[in-house]
Each structure stands twice: as structure tokens, then as C-alpha cells.
Amino acid sequence: MSVPTRLVRRLRAARENNTEIRNQETLEGILFSLPYLLVFSVFLLYPLLKGLYMSLHDWNAIYPSQSEFVFLENYVRMINDPMFWNALWNTVYFVVLTVPPLVMLGLALALGVNRQLKGRRFLRMVFFSPYVLTVAVVALIWIELYAPSYGVFNYYIMQIGIEPPNWLNSATFGMPAVALATIWWTLGFNFVILLSARQGIPERLYEAARLDGAYGWRAFRDITLPQMKPALVFVTVVQFIASFQIFGQVFIMTGGGPGNATDTLVMYLYKAAFNQHEFGYAAAVGYFLFVVLIAVSMVNYKLAGDSA
């Protein structure tokens, strides 16, 4: 191995000292990067900057050049709008309803399926399968499950003698109902990542612990949890970011109602932009979302840094 490596290094050095080759490599490097850099700058970087610009204007959707600079007015209006706070709290509520169960259930199922069991492949398939469905399919199936007169849930709830709510039309139960459908839909993602993290723990760690008499709960607390920490942090943050941006399920299942009981931030943004055509205002809401999610990512890096 050492001879070819030395040769490689010499070849490298020879190429690096040759200006003509270096210039050609620079040209090729830029040409190879160009297609992606073009879509990246036009459809990701530019809108990001334009969004900030728009959020500082009373945006005229028909004649953008007549937009008026209003500085922070959109943001002030946002903070003073009770509907914004309503959407924010509903979003936070949805995050609280979905993130802990998704992480904990995902972990429990991953640890279970990690054992030597019959039908592991089948179980993995069942838990993961809803993840490939599109949000429209998930929402429409769950609408039928929650149906007040002929849905399955209400029938079995009535069997045990409780008067069931009209789930999706209820201010109290609307959000939990959407959360339950979401858990069914996305649990597979966390499950698969946590399963692979569990399988990455060397078995000799458990053997060594067993010699010391550490079984069950102690092995879980002293080996499994610390070894899986990076994966758990990753899953929690990704889940938080996804849940914070909930849109499709609410849009289809409840439309934000009844009243505004299940209105979320992205719903609020969507309505401001595409129902009321207040682009500057909607862009400000978008930037608020951006800042919250960046803050979460920062906390993530801090946590991940501590565990490394």
C-alpha cells in the first residue's frame, strides 16, 4: 500500500505545480458544479433573501415595483394579531402531542424488533409502511376512521359506554385526532433510524456488562441510552422541525377548524398569502418560522456536540 500511496502523492504534487493543469482543474471544477449551483442559487438562496426583503414591504402582488417599504410593520402586526398567537399555540400543542410519543414509541418498537423474534421482517414492514403514503391518502383514510356516524372508533368507544366526540369537528379533540393520524403515518421513520442505531451498538458491551451482573433496566440505562444518544437527538430534532411545519394533515382533515381551533403556523401563512394575497405579511410569518427552526437547530448542535 505504501508504494502506490507515495506514487500517488508524487503525482498529485506534480499536478499541483503545473499551472496549466491547475487552471484546467479550476475550470472543470466550476463547470461540474454549475448546474446544481444554478438551481440552488435561483430556487433556494435568492428566495430566501427575497423573502426577507418582501417581509419589510407592504407587498403589491400585482405591481411589485409599487410595494411600499414599511420596515418592521409586518412583524409588529403579526405580534399584535391574536390569530397569530392562536396558530402559534396550536402548533406548539401539536409538537407536544406528537414529538414525545414519536420518539419514545419509535425507541420502544426499535428495541423490541431488535430481539431475536419470529417475523422481524414482517414487523419492520408493518411499522414502516405508512411512511411511504402521501399525506392526502393518510388524511382521507383517517377521516373515514373518525367518521361520527359510521366510523370504527366511535363504534368501539360507544361499546364501552362512553359518548364519543365528533373528533374532527371538535375544538378539544381535533388536534389530538390529527396528532394520532400523524403518529401512525411517520413513526416508521424514527423506528427505522433508531433500529439501525441500536444495531450499531457492539454486542461485546452487553457481554461485558452481563459479567458485571448488569441486565435489563441497568443495561438499558448504562449502555443502550448513552450509545443511542446521537440518534435520539437527531430523531427528536428532525421530528420537531417536521411537526412545527405541520400543514397537509390539518389542511385536509379539519381545514383549521372548527373556528380556528386547529389553525397552525403554516396554515396561517398559507391563508395570508393565498387567500388574502398579503405576500409581505406572509413572508414575515415565514421568517418567524425560520428563526424558530434555526434556534432549534442550534440547540441540536449544542446537544450533539456535548455527546461527541
**Contacts (Cβ under 8 Å, ≥6 apart) of 86:** 260, 263
**Candidate list 245, 260, 261, 303; residue touching other proteins; CB under 8 A:** 245
| Smallest gap from residue 242 Cβ to other proteins (A) | 9
Residues of span 215-244 touching other proteins by CB under 8 A: 231, 234-235, 241
**Contacts (Cβ under 8 Å, ≥6 apart) of 261:** 90, 171, 174, 175, 254
Using rule CB under 8 A, residue 5 touches other proteins: yes
| Contact mark string toward other proteins, 16..35, x via CB under 8 A | x-----x--xx-xxx-xx-x
| Smallest gap from residue 189 Cβ to other proteins (A) | 6
Number of residues that bind other proteins (CB under 8 A): 97
**Cα within 13 Å of Cα(105), Cβ side:** 17
Using rule CB under 8 A, residue 62 touches other proteins: no
Q: Is the peptide bond between 258 and the residue preceding it cis, with omega within 30 degrees of 0?
A: yes
| Smallest gap from residue 256 Cβ to other proteins (A) | 14
Q: Which stretch binds other proteins (CB under 8 A): 70-78, 86-94, 163-171, 193-201?
A: 193-201
| Smallest gap from residue 147 Cβ to other proteins (A) | 7
Residues of span 89-108 touching other proteins by CB under 8 A: none
H-assigned helices in the chain: 2-17, 19-40, 46-55, 73-79, 82-114, 120-128, 135-146, 152-159, 174-199, 203-211, 216-219, 225-244, 248-253, 265-270, 279-307
Please say whether the beta carbons of 239 and 226 come within 8 A.
Answer: no
Please state the φ and ψ torsions of residue 68, each to the nearest 5 degrees.
Answer: -105, 135
Smallest Cα–Cα separation from 175: which of 86, 238, 107?
A: 86
Residue closer to other proteins, measured from CB, 129 or 172: 129
Residue closer to other proteins, measured from CB, 85 or 274: 274
| Contact mark string toward other proteins, 257..286, x via CB under 8 A | ---------x--xx--xx----x--xx--x
- What the block records as the C-alpha cell of 60 is 403589491
Using rule CB under 8 A, residue 12 touches other proteins: yes
Using rule CB under 8 A, residue 200 touches other proteins: yes
Please say whether the beta carbons of 272 and 282 come within 8 A.
Answer: yes
Residues of span 115-144 touching other proteins by CB under 8 A: 115, 117-119, 122-130, 132-137, 139-144
Please tell me the distance from the alpha carbon of residue 94 to that of residue 297, in angstroms, as a whole number: 19
Using rule CB under 8 A, residue 110 touches other proteins: no
